[in-house]
A and B are shown apart, each in its own frame.
Chain A
Amino acid sequence: MSITPYRVPVVPKIKRDNYIKLYEKGFRTDERDFYTPRKICIKTNVLEKANGSSLVKLGNTTILAGIKIELGQPYPDTPNEGVLQVHAELSPLASSLFEPGPPDENSIELSRVIDRSLRDPKVIDFNSLIINPGNKAWVIWIDLYALDYDGNLFDASMLATMSALYTARMPELEELETGEIKIKNKVSNKPIKINKRIVSVTTAKIGKYIIVDPNLDEEIISDTRSVLVFDEEGNIVGAQKTGMGSYTMEEINNTIEISSKASQVYFKLLEEALENEKLER
């Protein structure tokens, strides 16, 4: 059951009015223009026991993604595909707004949006994760940990997911004399086969303004938000309206154009981050 949030900080109307006054002059409180995301910092392979990991900072929002790859069974309806599991943990250490306990609706929504964007557009080559059709397959667990929350978990989580997937290494198998298949080494040199890169672009609607990558204050005063996920060809591979308000068709069309342009910025930053990582190895 979903209930209207009752723990959201109260925003004085005057604060919202001030933000909008600033927007009228073309500024945001952190001196960005409307269409530029905050500074992005991506660090991969930050954990030794995970097959892949990435620490992403989007402004002050910090997400740690860890990938574990295990042996398991394919789903009965997709005997030729490996298994993907995405989970998000909005740990209480990340924000006074997060409560301990089982995943709440926000965490479930976040992980399901990431999951859908990876699954249906086949970002991962699921067929390459099959060991024995219908019987044995690799299970990829992506766990997203919010460490610091300053708005826009979706874009940060997507960057963390993609960079962790790119740097993750598959385990190595061995076949015993009995014919049994076992994991020999937890990590090999073999990467996960990836078909395409995707980025998520979150925009917030505040009054008549559409702004890219809202920070926490902007998220709280926003009327509603849109998450659009793009591939490199400019196709939309996932979308989710999140937040309580609504959009007119004109606002939706604006949001699509703005998000599509911003996706190029995110792609460039992801590209650069992955390049840097290669040099360091």
Chain B
Amino acid sequence: MVRPEKFIDDSGRRVDGRLPNELRPIKMQIGLLKNASGSALVEYGLTKVIVAVYGPRESQKFVSLPDRASLRVRYHMAPFSTEERKNPVPTRREIELSKVLRESLESIVMTNYFPRTTIDVFVEVLQSDGGTRTVAATAASLALADAGIPIKALFGGVAIGKVDGVLVVDINEVEDMYGDADMPIIAAPDLGLVTLYQLNGVLSKDEFQEAFDMAINAITRIVNMEKETLKSSYQVENKEGDIEK
């Protein structure tokens, strides 16, 4: 991978032809795994992430909480997800991302309904091209909904970046690697809540605030797609062949 000469060309388009505020093509699919309570596959451009949710199921004794369910989150990258093969042993990065993803889910999943149980969210990054943790959040939102686990609202994620001095939405790997900043954000726009933010790079105070506005706007669009995906997945045909929702 080489650093592009220009991140934004004269017509204001990015390395992959997008405008600064434009998301990559997004695909969503739910219920594709038979064993899991819920599952989802989400793609933002070349980034593909699959999430499986198991539970609520009985906790191991020593981790069981008397007033709520424990959440277990495992973020993991498949060995073939990256340019060079990634050793499947969890890295420090994967351990940190598992933690911040779990913490972002804690305030959304209604764990108080299931004391002494565990809800597992397993994330496998199948292909990585930037923004994997935010795609994982979107997939986790769908998988939890598919599992029928009560959540306060659907949520999603997007990474804001800064390239050639311009803030851009949903950065790909080149923009992440050679850009000036990478700021993943996870939010539940229907509640107006931000549940994760991180920043790697340098932003002015104003840019930092603007990045949140851009992210909330983008995540609102993503959550609307989630709603469409869920609605169309649960359409059934009645005897007359009409579609009922």
Contact = CB atoms under 8 A, between A and B. Distances in A.
Interface stretch (B25-33, B48-56, B139-147, B187-195): B187-195
Which of A3, A247, A256 has the largest count of B CB atoms less than 10 A from its CB?
A: A3
Nearest to A223: B107
Tier of interface size on chain B: 35 or more
A236 to B, nearest CB: 5
21 contacts: A2-B102, A3-B63, A4-B69, A6-B64, A6-B65, A106-B99, A108-B99, A112-B92, A116-B200, A120-B202, A121-B201, A224-B103, A224-B107, A235-B204, A236-B208, A239-B197, A239-B199, A241-B195, A241-B196, A242-B100, A249-B212
Interface stretch (B12-20, B34-42, B70-78, B223-231): B70-78
A241 B198 contact: yes
Contact of A2 (B64, B101, B107, B108): B101
B212 A108 contact: no
A244 B209 contact: no
A142 interface: no
A237 B207 CA distance: 12
Which of B68, B95, B106 has the largest count of A CB atoms less than 10 A from its CB?
A: B95
Contacts of A1: 72-74, 98
A52 interface: no
B82 to A, nearest CB: 13
Contacts of B181: 120
A148 interface: no
Interface in A222-258: 224, 231, 234-249, 252-253, 256
Interface residues of A, number: 37
A109 B208 contact: no
B96 interface: yes
A248 B204 contact: no
A233 to B, nearest CB: 8
Interface string A215-226: 000000000100
Nearest to A248: B192
Interface in A110-141: 111-112, 116, 120-121
A240 B93 CA distance: 14
A91 interface: no
A277 interface: no
B205 interface: yes
